Amino acid sequence: MADIVLSAGVRQNLLSLQNTASLMSTTQNRLATGKKVNTALDNPNSYFTSQSLQFRAGDLNNLLDNIGQAQKTLEAANQGITSLTKLIQSAQSIANQAEQAAGPSTAYSAIGKGSTAQTESKGTFTGSGFGTTTVGTVNFSVTVNGTANSLSFATGAADTVATVVANMQAAIDANSSTIGHVAVTVSGGQIKIDNQDVNTDVKIIANAESVLVGLTSGAASPANDQAINSTNLLDNIAAAGGTGTSTLTASVNGGTSQVITFGYGAGQVHDLAGLNTALAGLTGTTASATGTGNRTLAFSVAATTNSANSLVLTGNSSTGTATAVDTALSGSTTGLSGTYNGVATVTNNATRTSLQSDYNNILTQIDALAGDSSYNGINLLNGDSLKVIFNEKNTSSLTITGVSLNSAGLGLQAIGGSQFQQNANIDTALTSLGTALTTLRTQASKFGANVSVVQTRQDFTKNLINTLQTGSDALVLADTNEEGANALALQTRQSLSTTALSLANQASQSVLRLFG
């Protein structure tokens, strides 16, 4: 086949049309895809840079989903803590109600032991004569329970018995803080001295001048030495043969021995009132001495459970018969000494029992709620931990350590037996509940700080993804306005090129006809 010969003009216009068609194809492709760089051939640098940015944006977008799930896990834990706080507060209310309810009632068996005839009375002395008053100073001594007090008063020639009595009373009253109540009066024209305190023994010792003012009795030896003795428990102990230091010892349920000492010293006992005060001070037992003549000692052994209880009583004197104290108090030759058993019957308060059950039910609900506070298989309130990854290289992350916030983890224990019957046990429970509340609030604060971190990183990641995608698009996306204008211009160029090709072809044909 012979080669086709094209004129220079035709060939030039044909090449122009081919270029225009190529440009039209490129422009139409950009308008169709919206991208100016569709393959690495279009622009290798922009293509691969854009692809790298898109890959990172995609990786971060996958992490963003995990960050969102982590945030939901923290929200589930926070909701669990909020509900646990309400349950703890309910338990506090129950414990407070229990403490306000009446405590258990206890019936004790009483142990009565013997009786003794005893009359407590005040001492008194009346002088047997009143001699001639002499002028001078009367020196005398008042001894109270073995402690001497030296006193004196002045006398005159014209003093009557009333004057002497008044002066003597004034001297005693001036020292009443150590002597006590000793009354000096006139009885039948004689001086009468009364010990006004049933708990005190008094002795009056006067000098020779005192004999002349009516302190003589004729029966005493010496004549001016007068004892004014009260009758009290010490008299009974002495009568039973006890002398020196005498004691009564009580031991409850094998506990520490508790000693009551009889005497006139500090903290010692010498009358019925003092004995009852000492008995009331014994721990583990309720004891009292009763009666007005024949005394009965009654003991009740205190207990908080239905069980046998024992009381051991032992009386003793440092000298004399060992059973002097027992016999003096009981009126029996066998004495008080011995071991006594009794039973204390405790009846629990029904309200406290019911509230104890309610309290334990709350603890059960705490355990259940803590176990249900999971999200997507992770329970931060049951000891699980959560790791949140923030970048595609796994070099930035946050590990959230879980805690055990069930009843055991909060330091709460179920109340067993009849513990709510005692306020001390309720107070212990309330203290534990207060500590549990503090633990919950502290952990809520920690989780709150973690939520803040996760939320911040979530927002940061969203913005970073947007930045990466925008940067990627800037490298490969086409400007549709520009490409539309290019397409219109190319269409015009194509039309003109077609016309020019036609004209060039006509001119070529005319030359051929002219020279052909």
Q: Which residue has the higher pLDDT, 170 or 164?
A: 170
Clarify whether residues 365 and 457 are in a common domain. Answer: yes
Q: Who contacts 463 (Cβ-Cβ below 8 Å, separation ≥6)?
A: none
Encode pLDDT of 95-134 as tens digits: 999 999 888 776 655 555 555 555 667 778 777 666 555 6
Q: What is the structure's pLDDT at 319?
A: 64
Q: What is the structure's pLDDT at 507?
A: 65
Clarify whether residues 76 and 219 are in a common domain. Answer: no
Assign residue 219 the CATH number of its domain.
2.60.40
Clarify whether residues 451 and 377 are in a common domain. Answer: yes
Q: Which residue has the higher pLDDT, 127 or 249?
A: 249
* 3 is a domain residue: no
Q: What is the structure's pLDDT at 158?
A: 76
* 496 is a domain residue: no
- Per DSSP, the residues of 383-396 read T--EEEE-STTS-S
Clarify whether residues 330 and 240 are in a common domain. Answer: yes
What is the Cα–Cα distance from 206 to 140, expressed in whole angstroms?
4
* 479 is a domain residue: no
Q: How many domains does the chain have?
A: 3
Q: Who contacts 283 (Cβ-Cβ below 8 Å, separation ≥6)?
A: 252, 255, 258
* 284 is a domain residue: yes
Clarify whether residues 331 and 357 are in a common domain. Answer: no
**Mean of the pLDDT values across residues 260-287?**
79
Q: From the CB of residue 210, how many other CB atoms can be counted at a distance below 10 Å?
A: 24
As a dihedral over the C-alpha atoms of residue 474, residue 478, residue 479, residue 485, rounded to 10 degrees, the angle is 160
**CA distance from start to end of the chain:** 21
497 pLDDT band (50/70/90 cuts)?
A: low
From 317, 347, 377, give the residue that closes a domain: 347
Clarify whether residues 334 and 265 are in a common domain. Answer: yes
From 438, 465, 492, give the residue that closes a domain: 465
Q: What is the structure's pLDDT at 353?
A: 92
Encode pLDDT of 323-363 as tens digits: 677 777 666 655 666 676 665 567 888 999 999 999 999 99
Q: Who contacts 251 (Cβ-Cβ below 8 Å, separation ≥6)?
A: 257, 258, 311, 312, 314
**Mean of the pLDDT values across residues 214-229?**
58
Give me the phi and psi of 405, to 5 degrees please. Answer: -115, 35
Assign residue 387 the CATH number of its domain.
1.20.1330.10
Q: Which domain holds residue 414?
A: 62-103+352-465
Clarify whether residues 186 and 136 are in a common domain. Answer: yes
- Tokens representing 463 are 């913005």
CA distances from 507 to 5, 376, 378 (A): 14, 83, 87
469 pLDDT band (50/70/90 cuts)?
A: confident
Clarify whether residues 225 and 239 are in a common domain. Answer: no
Angle at alpha carbon of residue 432, lines to 427 and 436, rounded to 5° = 145
Peptide bond into 222 cis (omega under 30): yes
CA distances from 214 to 128, 149, 152, 220, 408 (A): 7, 20, 15, 13, 86
Residue 328: name the closest of 281, 280, 289 by CA.
Answer: 289
* 447 is a domain residue: yes
Residue 85: name the closest of 365, 361, 357, 355 by CA.
Answer: 365
What is the Cα–Cα distance from 70 to 449, expressed in whole angstroms?
14
Clarify whether residues 284 and 313 are in a common domain. Answer: yes
* 361 is a domain residue: yes
* 343 is a domain residue: yes
* 395 is a domain residue: yes
- Per DSSP, the residues of 59-96 read HHHHHHHHHHHHHHHHHHHHHHHHHHHHHHHHHHHHHH
Clarify whether residues 138 and 206 are in a common domain. Answer: yes
Clarify whether residues 242 and 343 are in a common domain. Answer: yes
CA 64, 69, 75, 78 torsion-angle sign: negative
Which H/E stretch holds residue 182? strand 182-187
Place of tokens 């009595």: 165
Buried b (16+ CB within 10 A) or exposed e, 212-244: bbbbbbeeeeeebebebbbbbbbbbbbebebee
From 347, 362, 384, give the residue that closes a domain: 347
Amino acid at 245: T
Clarify whether residues 191 and 224 are in a common domain. Answer: yes
Encode pLDDT of 456-467 as tens digits: 988 998 898 888
Encode pLDDT of 3-60 as tens digits: 665 656 666 666 766 677 666 767 667 666 667 677 766 777 777 777 788 888 888 8
Residue 418: name the closest of 344, 355, 363 by CA.
Answer: 355
